[in-house]
Chain A
Amino acid sequence: MATSSLANAQIESARIVAVNRRADLLMASIGILVLAIATLLLASVFVGLLASGWDRLINPDFYTHFPSRHPQQAGIISAIVGSSLVMLVTAVIAIPLGVAAGLYLEEYAPKNWLTDLIEINVSNLAGVPSIIYGLLALGLFVYAFSLGETILTAGLTLALLILPVIIVATREAVRSIPLELREAAYGLGADKWQVVRMYVLPAARPGIFTGVIVGLARAIGEAAPLITIGALTFIAFLPSPPVQATPPFVNFDWLTSPFTAMPIQLFNWVSRPQAEFHVNAAATGVVLMVMTLAMNALAIYVRLRLRRLHR
């Protein structure tokens, strides 16, 4: 009797293990399939662009020339510089604001209906179509504040666009810090700001950083809001450089300069009838994708590094 019930138990547990293993296998296969489809799609887009744009991509002039009526001479220097400067403004504004807002909501804000309302709003803002941000910026920055169709306006617009992403990422990162760590810090007599500065922020850094990069990678590819606020498509000069050799060494004239950006240049060339311009567009697409992928790679690298430092 006893031995047979033992044998039964063994058979039963073997059955459970087998069922579990089958479920694991099924999940893993579905996961790999989905991943493969996504990767293949991305790769085929990339390879397609690479093939069409190859001639321009291997030509150094493409990176140093301004746009031109002649597709063979047209380059993306003004778009690269424009995008870089716009991203600089975006980062300088969105990162501190977003991190501070996320920290405030998670650590300082009283837990009441108003905070909940703000929280829901911020999460929803992350999903608002980017052209809506363009319309807002047109009304607010261009008309109400008279900032014009400038790098500053573009940077502010994209900063608005990615603020929710950074806020949400900061909150998630801060929320995931274990209670024990906070109690340990408070237990030492640390006040709130010390706990935030010395323990919460360092521990939340990898998560915050990921949110920042995801946000910036989204911003760099945005065309719609920039077109709405009136980015130019043909820029044959560079803004004055932000740093200079003579005191005071920094220069903010570039902020008020008109600009173009990578996705706008791409959009412009794609909409031309001549096929040669489409080659330029494909090459621009490759550069844009490389930029985005590089940012994501940087995010992964920094996250791994920070994580290792913290173990």
Chain B
Amino acid sequence: MQNPTKTRVKLLMNEMTSSQHTSGAMRQQQDVQPEPTSAPVLRAEARNLDFWYGATHILKSVSMAVVDCKVTAIIGPSGCGKSTLLRCFNRMHDLYPGNRYSGEIQLYPEDRNLIEMDPGMVRLRIGMVFQKPNPFSKSIFENVAAGLRVRGVADKRILYERVEQALSGAALWDEVKDRLHDSAYGLSGGQQQRLCIARALAPQPDILLLDEPTSALDPIATAKIEDLLTVLRNTVTVIIVTHNMQQAARISDFTAYMHLGKLVEYGVTEKVFTTPQSPMTNDYITGRFG
């Protein structure tokens, strides 16, 4: 009678509320929200999503809810389809011929299937940060302003305001405020990646997608970006792909474990890491596999 996806979301919600009970001290919004049992708000939800690169079937019936203003991590062995799943959320696959989706990714609150929306519209609302820092060959300022310019913002005052806001949000403002008009290529790798985060944040996206954003960075730059994501949580909905299990455990609220294109396990991060339901997840997180 009941849709299996719905059930899974219900379970997820229950898990989350119970975990809030157990670790209430850790979660500060607990103090602000009078009702600890209030159900989490969904931002997006993949339902039975399949994806093909040409004839190669990669994602197999993935269903996953993305909770508003939380960090959702996707982990799994190399080649299991993490990037492929992430890039479905902003329809990046549509740039290349022959790729095909089936199933749906509902966007909330309007409850529309983003697979059927115009890809440009989807990308206006869902920002992305790539594995390799990829700033434009423009000034620092113009890099951050790029998304605003694409949206037709030309007012200098608004641009400056939003650029400063985004750079501060990406913890980069103090380092670059005196050289906003220098080339972005003059920044270090870690700074460039934070610049890319600022660029994605400036248009205030509904969801921010990050594909292994720290894999090309040293531990200090990585720590800076992790701090940044910890600050962003509660204001932005984040989906992050990572190879680093400690990172997923540190910064995410929910964790999805993928294997061979399937979503094997999905739930509250603490639970996934302490009491995984699937033996595959257990093997992966304990390092016996992957």
Give the interface size bracket for B toward A: 20 to 34
- Nearest B residue to A188, CB-CB: B147
| Contact present for B150 and A194 (CB under 8 Å) | yes
B67 to chain A, nearest CB (A): 23
| Contact present for B150 and A182 (CB under 8 Å) | no
List B145-178 residues whose CB lies under 8 Å from chain A. 146-147, 149-151
Provide the residues of chain A in CB contact with B92, threshold 8 Å: 183, 186-187
Q: Which of A183, A186, A188 has the most CB of B within 10 A?
A: A188
A188 with B95, Cβ < 8 A, contacts A180-B134, A183-B134, A203-B137 known: no
| Contact present for A189 and B123 (CB under 8 Å) | yes
Give the interface size bracket for A toward B: 20 to 34
Provide the residues of chain B in CB contact with A180, threshold 8 Å: 130, 132, 134
B36: interface (CB < 8 Å): no
B128: interface (CB < 8 Å): yes
A191: interface (CB < 8 Å): yes
A190: interface (CB < 8 Å): yes
| Contact present for B137 and A310 (CB under 8 Å) | yes
B186 to chain A, nearest CB (A): 9
Provide the residues of chain B in CB contact with A203, threshold 8 Å: 137
Map CB proximity to B onto A74-97 as digits: 1 under 8 Å, 0 otherwise: 000000000000000000000000
Assembled-state Cα–Cα distance A162/B120 (Å): 37
B195 to chain A, nearest CB (A): 11
| Contact present for B130 and A311 (CB under 8 Å) | no
A111: interface (CB < 8 Å): yes
Provide the residues of chain B in CB contact with A190, threshold 8 Å: 120, 123, 150
B145 to chain A, nearest CB (A): 10
A189 with B124, Cβ < 8 A, contacts A111-B97, A182-B95, A183-B95 known: yes
B25 to chain A, nearest CB (A): 38
Assembled-state Cα–Cα distance A111/B137 (Å): 28
Assembled-state Cα–Cα distance A190/B92 (Å): 12
Contact of A187 among B121, B123, B132, B135 (CB under 8 A): B123
A39 to chain B, nearest CB (A): 34
Map CB proximity to B onto A170-190 as digits: 1 under 8 Å, 0 otherwise: 000000001011111111111
Provide the residues of chain A in CB contact with B136, threshold 8 Å: 181, 184-185, 199
A47: interface (CB < 8 Å): no
Provide the residues of chain B in CB contact with A191, threshold 8 Å: 120
| Contact present for A187 and B127 (CB under 8 Å) | yes
B279 to chain A, nearest CB (A): 37
| Contact present for B149 and A184 (CB under 8 Å) | no
Q: Which of A111, A185, A203 has the most CB of B within 10 A?
A: A185
B213 to chain A, nearest CB (A): 13
Q: Which of B95, B127, B185 has the most CB of A within 10 A?
A: B95
CB-CB nearest 10 A-B residue pairs: A189-B124, A180-B134, A188-B147, A189-B123, A187-B128, A310-B137, A190-B150, A184-B134, A191-B120, A188-B150
Which chain B residues have a beta carbon within 8 Å of chain A's beta carbons?
90, 92, 95, 97, 120-121, 123-125, 127-128, 130, 132, 134-137, 146-147, 149-151, 183, 185, 196, 199-200, 203
22 pairs of residues in contact across A and B, judged by CB atoms under 8 Å: A181-B134, A181-B136, A182-B95, A183-B92, A183-B95, A183-B128, A184-B134, A184-B196, A184-B199, A185-B136, A185-B150, A186-B92, A186-B123, A187-B123, A187-B127, A187-B128, A187-B130, A188-B203, A189-B123, A189-B150, A189-B151, A190-B120
